[in-house]
């Protein structure tokens, strides 16, 4: 069972950090082990979140999903749509 999910759109790092940490963040502040990571190409960034088996990098369009036990996992948009078609509530 999924508790919550939020889609990384490249601009909502603080929203995801607040969901993961459970703490309110100031603008441009990240908490709870969430951080930005430079991609392979110039200007490309991923968002790293703590997950069940270690940190994972979200690319724009990926979902950070909290499972019933409280652990976070990364789901591609295709995985999320296939597994949770009715749960696309916090995508923006």
pLDDT along the chain (92 residues), means of 10: 92 96 94 93 91 94 95 95 71 44
pLDDT at 30: 97
Quote the domain boundaries for residue 73: 2-83
Residue 89 covered by a domain: no
Residue 92 covered by a domain: no
pLDDT at 92: 43
Residue 61 to residues 6, 58, 64, 69, 91, Cα–Cα distance (Å): 10, 8, 10, 24, 9
Find, among 8, 48, 3, the residue nearest to 22 by Cα: 3
Query: 77 φ, ψ to 5°?
Result: -60, -40
Residue 37 covered by a domain: yes
Residue 90 covered by a domain: no
Q: How many domains does the chain have?
A: 1
Residue 88 covered by a domain: no
């Amino acid at each position: 069972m999924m508790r919550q999910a939020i889609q990384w759109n490249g601009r909502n790092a603080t929203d995801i950090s607040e969901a993961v940490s459970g703490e309110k963040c100031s603008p441009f502040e990240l908490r709870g082990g969430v951080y930005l990571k430079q991609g392979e190409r110039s200007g490309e960034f991923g968002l790293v979140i703590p997950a069940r088996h270690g940190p994972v990098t979200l690319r724009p369009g990926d979902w950070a999903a909290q499972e019933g036990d409280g652990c976070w996992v990364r789901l591609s948009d295709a995985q999320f749509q296939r597994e949770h078609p009715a749960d696309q509530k916090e995508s923006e």
